[in-house]
Amino acid sequence: MQTSPLATPFPDMPPIDGVELRVSRARYKTWDRCDLTFVTLAEGTTVAGVLTQSRCPSPEVEWCRAALTLGTARALVVNAGNSNAFTGSRGRAAVEAIAARVAATHACKPSDVFVASTGVIGVPLPVDKAEAGLDAAFTAAPCGWLDMAETIGTTDTFPKGASTTAVVDGRTVTLVGVIKGSGMIAPDMATMLGFVFTDAAVDPAFLQRALTAANAPSFSCITVDGDTSTSDTVLAFATGKAGNRPLTDDDSLGADAFRAALADLCRQLALLVVRDGEGATKLIRIDVDGAESDRSAHRIAMSIANSPLVKTAIAGEDANWGRVVMAVGKAGEPAERDSLSIRFGATQVASGGLAVEGYDEAPVASHLKGQEVEIGVDLNLGEGRATVWSCDLTHGYISINADYRS
């Protein structure tokens, strides 16, 4: 598969004390690559998560949702090539078998084992392959973040990871994240599969609040195709090995710094997913200002971002602002035609219900030829604002998805 033209190099990322990675071949598909990731987590690790709002979630999502209420984690298993979604009791049994096998070999409770799967929907995860893959992972040599990022991918064209640091209680703590996602990206909560690890000591309730807050302007502000997955999962694990006094609330020393670092990391990861949108050639940033509320601005921005007409116009480098007007109007949110302003890049192209008289198309054409495109909308109704990210829609998206199960 050809690497996305928007790809960025995988960064050098430091290890996290209390986190050990291993990968193996469960052979969920007929491919010559690792497809099972096994992560062990130090005793005392806390966990938080945001999960798909799909009404047809995978058994893995249901398992994680229940386990998150306990707030502790000792292991993570990620399967690639089979989402195990819409598989009934056989799918649930597979998740239970995976958790039980890890718990039995690593002296922890099944509820301390988190499981995520991604791939084709409707095919039960084969327990024999899962168990054989786990057994191979248990004895495999520890590996690095790049290995994990490559192993959890499906239609991804490049591995995705990011890291950052924060000073908490006088100590420098590290946050690392890896993520996969390329299609079926229009989440209500997160993207496909993302995992954040930190050596900070963080109370699970505070970690959950911080992750939920970080999710809102990041994973919940990206879209590739308007389709929310059955398996979307983002989990954050905090091992506590940095030695800081645990973060318990916003008054804890370094709480603001940690929240800011987590938000920054989630934004970095979210944008990597859009850069790998299936068939994408352009990253699109959409800013909506002047809405009646932030929620209204967000809905309007997502209406623009998910419009096939807008996305194909950008693919064709056509500044068809009429399609943006259409997307604003169909969003179902307050908007006044004669108050609306639209820009491409820094150039205002429409205002007051009309094209800007005599605007210079040359800088617009130049802007649209780049790999990063900005669309700005001002409704001039209030103080609400939102920013979302999308990508263009090309024939490559059709090719990938028409042949997905082949």
Phi-psi region of 254 (alpha: psi -120 to 50; beta: other; left: phi over 0): left
Residue 347 among known ligand-binding residues: no
For 236, the enclosing helix (H) or strand (E) is strand 233-238
Burial of 348 from C-beta contacts in 10 A (0-12 / 13-18 / 19+): middle
Q: Which of the following is catalytic: 40, 72, 191, 198?
A: 191
Residue 139 among known ligand-binding residues: no
Handedness of CA 385, 390, 393, 397 (dihedral sign): negative
Instruction: For 384, list phi and psi in degrees, rounded to 5.
Output: -70, 140
Closest CA to 106 of 158, 54, 58, 40: 40
53 within 8 A of 189, measured Cβ to Cβ: yes
Asked about 165 being catalytic, the answer comes back as: no
Residue 401 among known ligand-binding residues: yes
Instruction: For 219, list phi and psi in degrees, rounded to 5.
Output: -60, -30
Residue 248 among known ligand-binding residues: no
Residue 180 among known ligand-binding residues: yes
Distances, alpha carbon 226 to alpha carbons 184, 221, 308, in Å: 7, 12, 10
Residue 369 among known ligand-binding residues: no
Which amino acids are annotated catalytic?
Answer: 191
**Binding site members for substrate:** 154, 180, 191, 278, 401, 406
